[in-house]
């Protein structure tokens, strides 16, 4: 090795060393510290005043509209599986309101109703029900849709419901055995796979939500001009107008077969 080469390579080492010092910060995984801080009034004594001030006008407008009492419930309505007080209450009223809109907008009717469990985000309390309660129950902007599918696809739908361990529904009765639907009754008659059926549901399930692939082969689709939430509000207001309170019952519309 010539002297020139030696000098050059030594310089490269030294420069390499200095640049390594400059850029190589290595994370020390064994030193990593973790913490989860619960946002309660013990950990945080005082809320941020500036943020509260900004929220104020937004809150005032919502509060004035949300606090309106629109109905009274005789009991706490909550979600359950395979059926629940809330599931049955909401599915029954959507079935009724959906058919009203379907008749008005398309002069036809549906024989069953199916909703998705995840769409019912919160229960309804015993006593006064406010607009806010309904927003918490159904915060999403989904709209009602009626869809006509074949009896075979209805059967696939029922099997999907069975596999999920039940979904909010109205208009049919079914048993669940080994993840499949049994003894399906639509209204007063057994499911006839050679017939077509019209179902009231939401655009969420029509779009394949909850893996409801059976809606992909729709024979006819009828988008309705009402959101799920607005249908609930409309129904509750109507009951109150008729001096009726809200109630719900379990009727074994979906049950486990022994």
User: Which stretches of the chain bind another protein, using CB under 8 A?
Assistant: 3, 6-7, 9-11, 13-29, 31-41, 43-44, 46-52, 54-55, 58-59, 61-62, 66, 121, 132, 135-136, 139-142, 203-204, 207-211
User: Is the bond preceding 11 in cis, omega lying within 30 degrees of 0?
Assistant: no
- Residue nearer to another protein on the CB measure, 51 or 107: 51
Please say whether the beta carbons of 184 and 155 come within 8 A.
Answer: yes
- Residue nearer to another protein on the CB measure, 26 or 178: 26
List CB contacts of 129: < 8 A, sequence separation 6 or more.
69, 70, 71, 72, 73, 236, 246
Q: How far is the CB of 207 from another protein (least distance, A)?
A: 5
**Nearest residue to 43 via CA among 35, 53, 51:** 35
- Residue nearer to another protein on the CB measure, 31 or 258: 31
Q: How far is the CB of 197 from another protein (least distance, A)?
A: 22
Q: What is the Cα–Cα distance from 215 to 161, expressed in whole angstroms? A: 13
List CB contacts of 139: < 8 A, sequence separation 6 or more.
121, 229
CA angle 175/154/171 to nearest 5° reads 60
Q: How far is the CB of 149 from another protein (least distance, A)?
A: 17
- Residue nearer to another protein on the CB measure, 17 or 193: 17
- Residue nearer to another protein on the CB measure, 48 or 194: 48
Q: How far is the CB of 201 from another protein (least distance, A)?
A: 13
Please say whether the beta carbons of 205 and 115 come within 8 A.
Answer: yes
The secondary structure element, H or E, covering residue 128 is strand 127-130
SS3 (DSSP) at 172? strand
Q: What is the Cα–Cα distance from 151 to 5, expressed in whole angstroms? A: 86
Q: How far is the CB of 46 from another protein (least distance, A)?
A: 6
**Nearest residue to 224 via CA among 145, 113, 114:** 145
Q: How far is the CB of 225 from another protein (least distance, A)?
A: 16
- Residue nearer to another protein on the CB measure, 30 or 194: 30
């Amino acid at each position: 090795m010539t002297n020139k080469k030696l000098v050059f390579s030594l310089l490269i080492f030294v420069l390499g060393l200095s640049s390594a010092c400059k850029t190589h910060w290595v994370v020390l995984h064994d030193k990593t510290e973790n913490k989860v801080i619960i946002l309660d009034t013990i950990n945080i004594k005082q809320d941020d005043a500036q943020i509260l001030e900004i929220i104020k006008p937004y809150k005032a407008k919502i509060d004035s509209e949300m606090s309106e009492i629109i109905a009274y419930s005789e009991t706490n309505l909550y979600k359950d599986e395979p059926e629940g007080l809330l599931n049955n209450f909401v599915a029954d009223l959507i079935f009724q309101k959906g058919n009203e809109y379907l008749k008005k907008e398309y002069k036809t009717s549906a024989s069953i109703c199916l909703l998705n469990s995840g769409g019912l985000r919160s229960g309804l309390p015993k006593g006064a029900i406010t607009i806010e309660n309904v927003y918490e129950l159904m915060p999403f902007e989904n709209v009602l849709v009626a869809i006509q599918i074949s009896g075979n696809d209805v059967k696939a739908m029922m099997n999907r419901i069975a596999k999920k361990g039940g979904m909010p529904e109205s208009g049919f009765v079914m048993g669940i055995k080994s993840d499949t639907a049994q003894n399906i009754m639509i209204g007063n008659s057994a499911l006839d796979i050679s017939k077509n059926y019209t179902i009231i549901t939401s655009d969420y399930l029509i779009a394949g939500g909850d893996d409801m692939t059976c809606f992909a082969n729709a024979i006819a689709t009828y988008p309705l001009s009402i959101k799920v939430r607005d249908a609930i509000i409309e129904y509750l207001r109507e009951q109150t107008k008729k001096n009726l309170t809200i109630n719900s019952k379990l009727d074994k519309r979906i049950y486990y077969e022994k």
